């Protein structure tokens, strides 16, 4: 589902790395020109400084209509945007460059209640978030996780991101989603390897498994 730009009320940045955060200035500028409503920007420490500096560079005043929430690396972050509840938890790898996973709980008349969990990075790094799901007995309707294969050697690729049996084990034993989406954000992903994961997961745990390549929209509901 594509959302009109004027309806966007929240942006969550899950990593300070450039491929996650460098486009925030242009996006915010477009949103603010499209609507008079307030928006919430959530991100790692320094997100407000980043956005303010971009407006300053353009010789413009940073708008008062932006509400900022800076994420804490060591704590569970909980907040709401437009009555949607979010829980954001840091991964355990690369403490100097944190990645965050998101649990999103949506309630409306059409969907009743749906809970979506998104892992930004290697699923093995997110055991704090997995523990939170288990300890609070959260039923995950849709699990979205990244898969990246950008090495030249297949053995090296599987060292970087988990092999199909590891993914299957985590999904089946720890999370139990109703739907599983593998997000391939790199054009270097190997389709044969991705198809191997899909086949393995579906055969092992009988969970509907979908893949989202670059630019592909997958219905999360």
Query: What are the C-alpha distances in Å from 173 to residues 37, 58, 169?
Result: 43, 50, 6
The confidence score (pLDDT) of residue 196 equals 74
Query: Are residues 211 and 123 both part of a single domain?
Result: yes
66 and 82 in a single domain? The answer is no
Same domain, 10 and 117: no
The domain spanning residue 91 has which CATH number?
A: 3.60.15.10
Domain range for 41: 1-71
Confidence of residue 182 (pLDDT cuts 50, 70, 90): confident
- Same domain (yes/no): 60, 80: no
CA distances 41 to 7, 47, 99, 105, Å, are 14, 8, 16, 18
Q: CA 87, CA 103: separation in Å to the nearest integer? A: 5
Q: What percent of the chain has pLDDT over 90?
A: 25
Average the pLDDT over 88-106 and give the result: 82
Q: 213 and 111 in one domain?
A: yes
**Residue 205, pLDDT score:** 73
d(CA 23, CA 11): 12
Q: Out of 40, 71, 102, pick the residue that ends a domain.
A: 71
- pLDDT on residue 135: 93
Query: How confident is the model over 203-219, as a mean pLDDT?
Result: 69
Residues 54 and 95 in one domain: no
Q: Mean pLDDT across the chain, nearest whole number? A: 80
- Give the pLDDT band (50/70/90) at residue 107: confident
Boundary of a domain, candidates 71, 103, 123: 71
At 50-92, the pLDDT tens digits run 999 988 988 888 888 899 999 998 899 999 998 899 999 998 6
pLDDT given at position 159: 44
Q: Residue 62 to residues 32, 58, 94: CA-CA distances in angstroms?
A: 11, 10, 31
Residues 79 and 184 grouped into a single domain: yes
Residues 6 and 94 in one domain: no
> What's the confidence (pLDDT) of residue 158?
46
3-state secondary structure of 158: helix
Banded pLDDT at 190 (limits 50, 70, 90): low
Q: Are residues 32 and 86 in the same domain?
A: no
Please indicate, yes or no, whether residues 85 and 193 belong to a single structural domain of this protein: yes
Number of domains observed in the structure of the chain: 2
Domain end call among 43, 71, 99: 71
Are 39 and 32 contacting, i.e. CB atoms less than 8 angstroms apart? Answer: yes
CB 199 within 8 A of CB 207: no
The string of pLDDT tens digits covering residues 120-172 is 777 778 888 999 999 999 999 999 887 765 544 454 444 456 666 777 778 77
Question: 99 and 26 in one domain?
Answer: no
Whether residue 114 sits in one domain with residue 11: no
Residue 74 main-chain phi, psi, to 5 deg: -100, -5
């Amino acid at each position: 589902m594509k959302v009109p730009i004027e309806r966007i009320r929240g942006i969550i940045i899950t990593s300070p790395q450039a491929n996650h955060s460098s486009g925030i200035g242009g996006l915010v500028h477009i949103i603010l020109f499209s609507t008079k409503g307030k928006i919430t920007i959530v991100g790692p420490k320094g997100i407000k400084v980043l956005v303010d500096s971009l407006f300053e560079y353009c010789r413009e005043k940073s708008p008062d209509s932006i509400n900022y929430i800076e994420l804490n690396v060591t704590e569970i972050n909980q907040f709401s945007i437009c009555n949607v509840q979010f829980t954001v938890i840091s991964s355990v790898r690369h403490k100097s460059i944190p990645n965050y996973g998101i649990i999103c709980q949506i309630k409306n008349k059409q969907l009743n209640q749906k809970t979506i969990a998104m892992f930004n990075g290697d699923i093995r790094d997110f055991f704090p978030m997995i523990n939170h799901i288990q300890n609070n007995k959260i039923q995950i309707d849709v699990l979205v996780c990244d898969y990246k294969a950008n090495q030249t050697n297949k053995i090296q690729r599987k060292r970087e991101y988990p092999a199909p049996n590891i993914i299957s084990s985590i999904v089946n034993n720890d999370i139990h989603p109703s739907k599983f989406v593998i997000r391939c954000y790199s054009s270097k992903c190997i389709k044969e390897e991705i198809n191997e994961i899909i086949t393995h997961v579906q055969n092992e745990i009988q969970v509907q498994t979908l893949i989202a390549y670059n630019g592909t929209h997958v219905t999360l509901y």
